[in-house]
Amino acid sequence: MVRKTSIAFLATAAWLLAAAPLGAHHSIAAEFDENKPITFTGTIKTIEWMNPHIYTHVEVKQDDGSVLVYRVEGSPPNTLYRRGWRKDTLKAGDVVTVSGIRAKIPTSMNIGQATIKTESGLEIFAGTNR
């Protein structure tokens, strides 16, 4: 009886430890600062359509001629697909305006909770809370 109880306890503890990182992964506040909104216009360089999130890389030319590449984090592909996104909704070379929030670590160039608007007026929410 003691052995069965010990096995059940260990199995439960292992399950709880394995599940703990899942909650942390989906916390917007863990990576992004809601007090640092940003809006920019640029050209899509690439789109990484993969789990657990898609990433849209947007090139933005600066006044001094240099180019910054922002990495716009989106929801998981399945979530975006249910919202109407397809792999060809946005393409490399498209000019877009992005509104979102900056990462807490600015050098990462990550943008979260973003809305992406195309020149044709199509507006797509890429984040996770809508």
Separation between Cα atoms, residue 8 and residue 101, nearest integer Å: 44
Of residues 18 and 65, more confidence is placed in 65
Q: What is the CATH number of the domain that holds 49?
A: 2.40.50.140
Is the pLDDT assigned to residue 42 strictly greater than 60? Answer: yes
Residue 34 lies in a domain: yes
In a domain, 20, yes or no: no
Chain segment 45-95, per-residue pLDDT in tens: 999 998 888 999 999 999 999 999 999 988 889 988 888 888 899 999 999
Asked whether residue 19 is domain-assigned, the answer is: no
112: domain range?
Answer: 28-125
Q: Is residue 130 part of a domain?
A: no
CA-based radius of gyration for the chain: 19
Number of domains forming the structure of the chain: 1
* 22 in any annotated domain: no
Q: Is residue 113 part of a domain?
A: yes
pTM, 2 dp: 0.73
Give the Cβ contact number of residue 46 at 10 Å.
Answer: 13
Q: pLDDT tens-digit profile of 99-123?
A: 988 888 877 778 888 899 999 998 8
Quick check: is 2 in a domain? no
What pairing do the DSSP bridges indicate for beta strands 110-118 and 95-103? antiparallel
